[in-house]
Amino acid sequence: MEKMSKALEKAKMLVGMEVDEEAAEEESSSFFDDFNRQCTLTTQQRLYGFAICLAAGLACTFLSMLVFFNPVKFGITFTFGNLLALGSTAFLIGPKRQVFMMLDPVRIYATALYIASIIIALFCALYVHNKLLTLLAIILEFGALVWYSLSYIPFARSIVSKVMVSCFDTDF
């Protein structure tokens, strides 16, 4: 019975629900702690928020292809869609845990690459107004998002790296 309650507590932690603990953490209160206390959602509300935010992000990303020949609209719509899709997971695990997971040593470089590619894509779209550079920046942003997403799957990045090396290996 104790194993089941521990498993239930772990499942609650994964979706960001509060685990039944004593309020002994009063000595260190940060902005994120206060924010999480004020923004408590039920499991159903979290799932709805996740689904709506993810659907809106994917819709923006796919609809951005309609305005590809206008680099400003394309860059903003594509990037906003990616940010919505990325932010949708904050509904499941909470914003504090999302930020800490993004800054985890395992994925800090992937996060930095993704944020840098977003800035580059927006710079190319808003200031340079070059369609080719915007397209290259969006390809970089998409690749960085895939690499960042793979960091959450154990051994996925090493497997993808080995597959890519074997695909482009020119030695026979």
- Rounded mean pLDDT, 101-122: 91
Band (pLDDT 50/70/90 cuts) for residue 40 is confident
In this predicted structure, what is the pLDDT of residue 26?
A: 45
Q: What's the pTM value of the predicted model, to 2 decimals? A: 0.69
In this predicted structure, what is the pLDDT of residue 159?
A: 93
Band (pLDDT 50/70/90 cuts) for residue 43 is confident
In this predicted structure, what is the pLDDT of residue 152?
A: 84
In this predicted structure, what is the pLDDT of residue 72?
A: 81
Distance between CA atoms of residues 122 and 73, nearest Å: 10
In this predicted structure, what is the pLDDT of residue 50?
A: 92
In this predicted structure, what is the pLDDT of residue 63?
A: 92
For the cut 90, the answer to whether the pLDDT of residue 53 exceeds it is: yes
Round to the nearest angstrom and report the end-to-end CA distance of the chain: 58
Helix axes 31-38, 95-102, angle to 10 degrees: 140
- Rounded mean pLDDT, 21-35: 56
Distance between CA atoms of residues 163 and 11, nearest Å: 33
In this predicted structure, what is the pLDDT of residue 24?
A: 39
